[in-house]
């Protein structure tokens, strides 16, 4: 039986693509691989940002890094590339890293660089959702593995 493809943040599969050159590998990677064909993707890197890089936060519709540089263009390019991959491969689900300015699913940092979070979504999450792709965070993985009918919007 062919496994369903699911887009997943590259950092969650162990790729060292975070702004600080680290990863956020999830413990349930083997279980995910048993159930899904994972398609790792980092929209920040694919948008043209390097590793390591200055951390960024969303300020309204813009994304600004800690040095004050506007990196919105790179974040939007990365989001478009993620959407293109999903369309090309017929992907309808994504697991993205919560709190990220690109991939935040439920929360993002508030734009003050004071380690304060607020309810919100990253640029990639927003674009994928606008195009009918269901987006989960890494916190949703247990439910996603245990219930094939799990819906992140419930």
pTM (2 d.p.): 0.93
What are the DSSP calls for 17-74, one per residue? Answer: -STTS-----TTHHHHHHHEEEEEE-HHHHTT--SS---EEEETTEEEETTS-B-HHH
Contact (Cβ atoms closer than 8 angstroms) between residue 9 and residue 100: yes
What are the DSSP calls for 86-128, one per residue? Answer: HHHHT--EEEE-TB-TTT-SSEEE-SSSSS-EEE---HHHHHH
Report the C-alpha gap between 11 and 42 in whole angstroms. 7
pLDDT in tens, the chain (154 residues): 789 999 999 999 999 999 999 999 999 999 999 999 999 999 999 999 999 999 999 998 999 999 999 999 999 999 999 999 999 999 999 999 999 999 999 999 999 999 999 999 999 999 999 999 999 999 999 999 987 555 555 4
């Amino acid at each position: 039986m062919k496994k369903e493809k699911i887009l997943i943040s590259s950092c969650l599969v162990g790729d060292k693509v975070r702004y600080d050159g680290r990863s956020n590998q999830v413990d349930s990677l083997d279980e995910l691989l048993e159930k899904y064909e994972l398609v790792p993707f980092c929209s920040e890197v694919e948008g043209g940002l390097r590793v390591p890089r200055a951390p960024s936060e969303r300020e309204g519709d813009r994304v600004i890094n800690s040095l004050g540089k506007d990196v919105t263009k790179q974040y939007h390019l990365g989001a478009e590339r993620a959407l293109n991959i999903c369309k090309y491969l017929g992907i309808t689900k994504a697991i993205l890293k919560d709190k990220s300015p690109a991939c935040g699913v439920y929360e993002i940092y508030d734009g003050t660089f004071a380690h304060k979070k607020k309810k919100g979504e990253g640029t990639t999450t927003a674009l994928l959702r606008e195009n009918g792709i269901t987006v989960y965070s890494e916190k949703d993985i247990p439910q996603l593995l245990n219930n094939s009918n799990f819906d992140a919007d419930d």
